[in-house]
Amino acid sequence: MGKKTAVMDIPLFLTVIVLVCIGIVMVYSASAVISQEKFSSSYHFLIKQSIWAMAGILLMLVFSQVDYNHFQKFSRPAVIVTVILLFIVLFRPTMLGARRWIKIGPIGFQPSEMAKLVMILFIADVLDRKQSKIKEFKACILPILIVTMVLSALIYIEPDLGGTVILVLMFMIMLFIGGARVQHLVSIVLVSLPLLYLAILKVGYRKGRLLSFLNPQDDITGKGYQLYQSLLAFGSGGLFGKGLGASRSKLFYLPQPHTDFILPVIGEELGFFGVTIIILMFCFIIYRGARIAIDAPNLFGTMFASGIVSLVALQTIINIAVVTACMPTKGLSLPFLSFGGSSLIFTLIGMGILLNISMQVKRQR
């Protein structure tokens, strides 16, 4: 905290702010009709998203001023708290077919979003402390593997397959960047394949989803409906789109147009052009994040930063791949843009931490 002379990464900060603002506008555009129908006011989702955005940006600024090295000592307590919260969630009533929220007053809170950030903290911490033993399975990889399995298992039970996949992939990416042996990673993948098979193909609706994405047109009224509508939205948008607010897919044709499927609405209203600009902004954030990770003052900072950036990159890529029918439907939100408080706030907290790391980068270059 002492050396506050350094400046944070302003372009990164501004890009994040602009994306969040675009998100608010698009959430309103996508949700106005649905909101009018459900709540007799078109502003319901707009107001909520705006409040969360303001809270999130405030938290981002706060976290950017807290030295990230302080968090290292909280990594194990944080894991324990997260596990407890994920347990509590399992006893909450089901909402939208899953138990993901803990309600504190009027505010819903998703521990699984917190779990992603906590796992990044934990892995960064372990890799930093045991950096000499990174090649040893038992000493370094096993504890991380156990924590990852516990967290992802709890999230899987909610059920939240998307979150589970993210945790597992984060684990792989961070260990790869940390320098683990490729043989270890490959063998973990091989061992987990039967589990993956059970997790996906044993559950009826997931099997349907998995297969439907391959040919969404074949079953447009059933399992492929959402993807079919998503493609219609993108395709009818064309190069420059129908104009802001002019989406027709959002008139109840496309399910969840303001949450997971907000990008098709953007594609329909702003066209290929608009979507490309948004993708470029994500690329910019990832690029700046990667530079911060490389230039971080210590290994903990590098791992923490690369974890946060990987989280954003993974969620973005998977979400876009899903809505363009390149991957089976997962139920993953698009960072910064999708409606959803926990996701937005924890992503912005992550950005705050990243900004703090950026303030402490090595000056020698």
327: its two tokens: 């991957």
Instruction: Pick the closer one to another protein by CB: 77 or 235.
Output: 235
Pick from 128, 118, 135: nearest CA to 299 = 128
Instruction: Pick the closer one to another protein by CB: 145 or 317.
Output: 317
Residue 159 preceded by cis peptide, ω within 30: yes
Report the alpha-carbon distance of residue 74 to residue 125 in Å, rounded. 9
- Considering the complex, what minimum distance in angstroms separates the CB of residue 100 from another protein? 26
The CB density around residue 217, as the number of other CB atoms within 10 Å, is 10
- Considering the complex, what minimum distance in angstroms separates the CB of residue 4 from another protein? 27
DSSP state letters, 60-125: HHHHHTS-GGGGGGGHHHHHHHHHHHHHHHTTSPPBTTB---EEETTEEE-HHHHHHHHHHHHHHH
Identify residue 286 by its one-letter amino acid code.
Answer: I
Instruction: Pick the closer one to another protein by CB: 16 or 312.
Output: 312
Instruction: Pick the closer one to another protein by CB: 199 or 279.
Output: 279
- Considering the complex, what minimum distance in angstroms separates the CB of residue 65 from another protein? 25
Report the alpha-carbon distance of residue 249 to residue 233 in Å, rounded. 6
Q: Which residues contact another protein by CB under 8 A?
A: 33, 173, 176-179, 231-239, 248-249, 251-253, 267, 271-272, 275-276, 279, 282-283, 286-287, 290, 293-294, 299, 302, 306, 310, 313, 317, 320-321, 324, 326
- Considering the complex, what minimum distance in angstroms separates the CB of residue 214 from another protein? 14
H helices, E strands: number in the chain: 12, 2
Instruction: Pick the closer one to another protein by CB: 107 or 281.
Output: 281
Report the alpha-carbon distance of residue 16 to residue 9 in Å, rounded. 11
- Considering the complex, what minimum distance in angstroms separates the CB of residue 266 from another protein? 11
Q: Give the largest CA-CA distance in the chain.
A: 62
- Considering the complex, what minimum distance in angstroms separates the CB of residue 181 from another protein? 12
CB 124 within 8 A of CB 307: yes
- Considering the complex, what minimum distance in angstroms separates the CB of residue 270 from another protein? 10
Report the alpha-carbon distance of residue 101 to residue 107 in Å, rounded. 9
345: its two tokens: 């706030």
Instruction: Pick the closer one to another protein by CB: 82 or 249.
Output: 249
- Considering the complex, what minimum distance in angstroms separates the CB of residue 313 from another protein? 5
Instruction: Pick the closer one to another protein by CB: 59 or 290.
Output: 290
Q: What per-residue string of b and e applies to 324-345 under the rule 16 or more CB within 10 Å gives b? A: bbebbbbbbbbbbbbbbbbbbb
Instruction: Pick the closer one to another protein by CB: 120 or 231.
Output: 231
Instruction: Pick the closer one to another protein by CB: 17 or 177.
Output: 177
- Considering the complex, what minimum distance in angstroms separates the CB of residue 310 from another protein? 7
